[in-house]
Amino acid sequence: MAPVVYHPRYLDYWFGPQHPFSPLRQRMLIDLLETMGHAFDPVLPQPATREEIRAIHSEAYVQQVEAASTGCPLPDASDYGLETMDVPTFQGMDTATRYLVGGTLHAARMVADGSARRVLQLGGGLHHAQHALASGFCVYNDLSAAIRHFEGCGLRVAYIDVDVHHGDGVQWLHYSDPALLNLSLHESGRYLFPGTGTIHEIGDGAGKGLKLNVPLEPGTSDDSYLEEFERVVPHALAWFGPDVLLIQAGADAHLQDPLAHLRLSTHAYEALFRRLIQLSDAHTEGRAVFTLGGGYDFDAATRVWALLYFLLQDEPLPGRLPQDWLDRWRDRLQTTLTPTLHDPEPTTSSGQVVAHNRQVTQRLLETVVPCWS
Amino acid sequence: MLVRDIMHGPAVTISVDTSLADAYHAMQHHDVRHLPVLQNDLLVGIVTDRDLRYATSVLHPAPFSEEVEVSHVMARSVITTTPLDPVEEAARLMRRHKIGCLPVMEGPKLVGMVTGTDLLDAIIRLTGLQKPTGRIAVQLADTPGQLARVAALVDAQDVNIHSVLTYPKANKQTLVILRVDTLNTRALADALRLGGLNVTWPPED
């Protein structure tokens, strides 16, 4: 049994009805688990303290968030990425975000002090937030808070980011961090926000060779994604020897996602999550924290994260989803929902995509492996 | 973008009576491949590492001794630019004459150098990412007012444009690449399509 960290206050992290980053995703998921008869009994975290936020973000930026949070954003808020289309501000934004950061921190504490091995944080994954910049729906960087906590306990961390967007916030906050291995698999920044995450961004100073980016072609499907994951991730973990894994499990590489162009099915996600669990058993005695992340198709994100939940609980995967749940959310969202946990079948990449991804990943390894000696 | 925005200066220089050996060592020491040659503070020539290596090579029909003065091997009619020339003009000049650098002159005074490497840096700055952004590609007819249409529609969505790149395509079409401060480029693309524009990225559903 993997403990689940969650707080109803997570639902306050809400940018409004038109915004794609919606807490409805967690509500659908929790409703699904409860409808299926799972006792949903999460560990309730405290919000992160102001000091914990300040360990990541500049004083000027935190003041901007606090001002915006009272409904009076400062005139230069947009210099800090606030009051923008992606990060509009709302009453209580500071506290709402601190609950999410507190949750990821709490999960990290449970793993670091040995009270749990694998923990699922049902929120967070705000990987775009930078030192003094809100970006890509992210206000405070909960992942960096967890990384800092682990490092403070003397643990070496491998951060694995499978969100379809490059994990730029975490990368830049830890670009020269020698105790953190970053692995980000994403759609190429040539086509997708935030534009970074090339194979040449490999870290700086003592962190050189520790920041690995696998930029994948639009159209990358199950086969090629898993192939490139295998080429890079196990190899890097075996070399680095982490004490704990931190996984940002964004669900937006799914083929139904409206904001990106990878084509993963739930079959790839199942294989990916099983492999991550296996790798944590092999390298970190099972120690791993999983967070959520992007995922903008409600039907797909809910099924991907339900899969993650069942795999972490070591429970059999359901085939068909409960009809009353399907009816309820179909009416609410005015959309059709996939009646089964899995998509009908795995997806296949074009030959051109497979060849291109192979070449990119090989060039990545040629660049970083010499730094590993 | 002007030459003064990308040039570097003051330039490392040598005088006409510098020996080939000293000129070569100066290049090694300063990690440069071109040296402007001065006489009484006036630019009289330029010498490259390739000139020096060839002049002293066994492959040269009459190789020079390394003690010879650079005035014997330097190029004398030097092609130059000025700080206020546009960068693209400097690039065109270097391409046309197949040369790797341009001394930058303010009147008779040498104030700096522009090299091929500086132009590569300029490309990186022009196309590079100073901020996290999404990418939109729009194909437009190459006629007046088209870019204004794009800008007006983007403005109506309250999105900030960080950079614009355009390049000509066949059939009097221009491809415009916008970098915009939103992750949700799909919504913006939909709005541009509704406004009648041919958005080529992100693709339609």
Question: Do B7 and B117 touch, CB atoms closer than 8 A?
Answer: no
> Over the stretch B22-62, which tens digit does the pLDDT of each residue have?
999 999 999 999 999 999 999 999 999 999 999 999 999 99
Phi, psi of B34 (to 5 degrees): -130, 140
Q: Catalytic residue at A128?
A: yes
pLDDT at B128 over 90: no
> Over the stretch A163-220, which tens digit does the pLDDT of each residue have?
999 999 999 999 999 999 999 999 999 999 999 999 999 999 999 999 999 999 999 9
**In this structure, which amino acid lies at residue A257?**
D
> With the CA atoms of B162, B168, B172 and B173 taken in that order, what torsion angle do they form, in degrees rounded to the nearest 10?
-40
Residues of B in contact with A85 (CB under 8 A): 157-159, 181-182, 184
Residue-wise burial string across A333-360, b where 16 or more C-beta atoms lie within 10 A, e elsewhere:
eeeebbeebbbeebbebeeebbebbeeb
Could you identify the residue written with the tokens 């992750």?
B183
- A residues 119-138 closer than 8 Å to B (CB): 128, 133, 135-137
pLDDT at B139 over 90: yes
Q: Which helix (H) or strand (E) holds B202?
A: none
Give the other-Cβ count within 10 Å of B59's Cβ: 7
pLDDT above 90 covers a percentage of chain B that reads: 87
**Assembly ipTM:** 0.81
* Count, residues in chain B: 205
> Over the stretch B92-116, which tens digit does the pLDDT of each residue have?
999 999 999 999 999 999 999 999 9
Q: In this structure, is the dihedral angle defined by the CA atoms of residues B172, B177, B182 and B185, taken in order, positive or negative?
A: positive
- Does B186 contact A168 at a Cβ distance shorter than 8 Å? no
CA pair distance A252, A293, nearest whole angstrom: 8
A120: CB partners within 8 A, 6+ apart: A2, A3, A4, A5, A107, A290, A308, A309, A312
B155 touches chain A (CB under 8 A): no
Residues of A in contact with B132 (CB under 8 A): 128, 133, 135-136, 168, 193-196
Phi, psi of A313 (to 5 degrees): -85, -5
CA pair distance A332, B170, nearest whole angstrom: 48
Q: Which tokens belong to A54?
A: 């300040």
- Which of A128, A165, A166, A254 is labelled catalytic? A128
pLDDT at A1 over 90: no
B173 touches chain A (CB under 8 A): no
- Does A194 contact B129 at a Cβ distance shorter than 8 Å? yes
The pTM of this model reads 0.89
Q: How confident is the model at residue B129 (pLDDT cuts 50, 70, 90)?
A: confident
- Does A190 contact B135 at a Cβ distance shorter than 8 Å? yes
Nearest to A164 by CA among A125, A115, A113: A125
Question: Do B186 and A258 touch, CB atoms closer than 8 A?
Answer: yes
CA pair distance B66, B22, nearest whole angstrom: 8
DSSP per-residue letters across B64-111? PPTTSBGGGTSBSS---B-TTSBHHHHHHHHHHHT-SEEEEEETTEEE
At B204 the three-state DSSP class reads coil
* Count, residues in chain A: 373
Q: How confident is the model at residue A16 (pLDDT cuts 50, 70, 90)?
A: very high
CA pair distance A315, A1, nearest whole angstrom: 9
DSSP per-residue letters across A255-292? TT-TT---BB-HHHHHHHHHHHHHHHHHHHTT-EEEE-
Q: How confident is the model at residue A352 (pLDDT cuts 50, 70, 90)?
A: very high
A159 touches chain B (CB under 8 A): no
Q: Which of B129, B135, B182 is closest, CB to CB, to A85? A: B182
**In this structure, which amino acid lies at residue A186?**
H
pLDDT at B124 over 90: no
Residue of B nearest to A19 (CA): B184
Question: How confident is the model at residue B158, as a pLDDT?
Answer: 87
Q: How far is B202 from chain A (nearest CA, A)?
A: 8
Q: Which tokens belong to A291?
A: 């967070």
Residues of B in contact with A218 (CB under 8 A): 203
Question: How confident is the model at residue A309, as a pLDDT?
Answer: 98
Q: Which of B131, B179, B186 is closest, CB to CB, to A258? A: B186
Q: What share of chain A is helix, strand, coil (3-state, %, to 5)?
A: 45, 10, 45
Question: How confident is the model at residue B96, as a pLDDT?
Answer: 95
A228: CB partners within 8 A, 6+ apart: A185, A214, A216, A357, A358, A361
